[in-house]
Amino acid sequence: MTDSQRLTSLVEICGHTFYLPALGKDSIVIDLGASTAAFSHGVHALSGCQCHCVEAAKRNFHAITETAHVHKYLAAMGGTDGPVVLNIVDDEFHWGSLNASLGFDVTERQGVLGQSLSSLFGALSVDTVDLLKVDIEGAEIELFDAADDETLRRCLQMTIEFHDFMDPEQAVNVKRQLDRFESLGFDCVAMTRRHHGDVWVVNRAALGLSSAELFYYRTALKYGRGVSRILNRTLRRTVGSAA
């Protein structure tokens, strides 16, 4: 694979990084914390895959446009199956959390069905998940703690937003989860610089990636993106000041 191909192979949509060449029209993508499904529609547009979107906030859920390739389910993903209470926070994106979120005012509480990862996989009758996206506002630790090894091994790659950038006390739990993934044969690449807001977890052998390719993504591509973001922010500030 050339450097140019590597640059376009690791894709970022809605702040979530994944390996695009592993996805095709027969691939299964599960989008947890889908919001209004911008991630799923974006992944489908690039790969033609089948997407299953799970969203807990009812307003966001009703705003999801279903298609022949994008399907939606109302549930709050976490560590348990059964009724739970979702805390809707005072924020323009109308997101919710199973735990009261730091720094946000709760404006509404909604009753919704809670669902674990193994329960969801069973309901969808999936044996292999080509890409699992997790953005569930702090419930990811409970989600993974409740998932057995067999369930996690069904996933060929995951793109996860951990919330240690909002709650530093989560750092210990995040490290524990990453250590567990690596013990199961995954490689973990944090694409964010200081925290773990965008972590790519990949079964490198299943996707046919070499150690050299993983090293490239972990170093040159990651830090190249960081430099690009800094330059873009500087340019925007410069243009704004000039205006």
Comparing CA positions, the residue from 184, 46, 49 lying closest to residue 129 is 49
pTM for the model: 0.88
Report the residue count for the chain: 243
Mean pLDDT by 10 residues, the chain (243 residues): 60 95 97 97 98 95 97 96 88 74 76 96 97 94 97 98 82 95 97 90 95 88 63 50 54
Task: Check residue 157 and give its pLDDT.
Answer: 98
Q: How far apart are CA 11 and CA 15, in angstroms?
A: 10
The residue ranges of every structural domain in the chain are 3-242
Third-level CATH fold of 3-242:
Rossmann fold (3.40.50)
- How do residues 148-187 score in pLDDT, each as one tens digit? 999 999 999 999 999 887 777 789 999 999 999 999 999 9
Q: How far apart are CA 80 and CA 142, in angstroms?
A: 8
Helix, strand, or coil (residue 53): strand
Asked if 136 and 33 count as a contact pair (C-beta separation under 8 A), the reply is yes
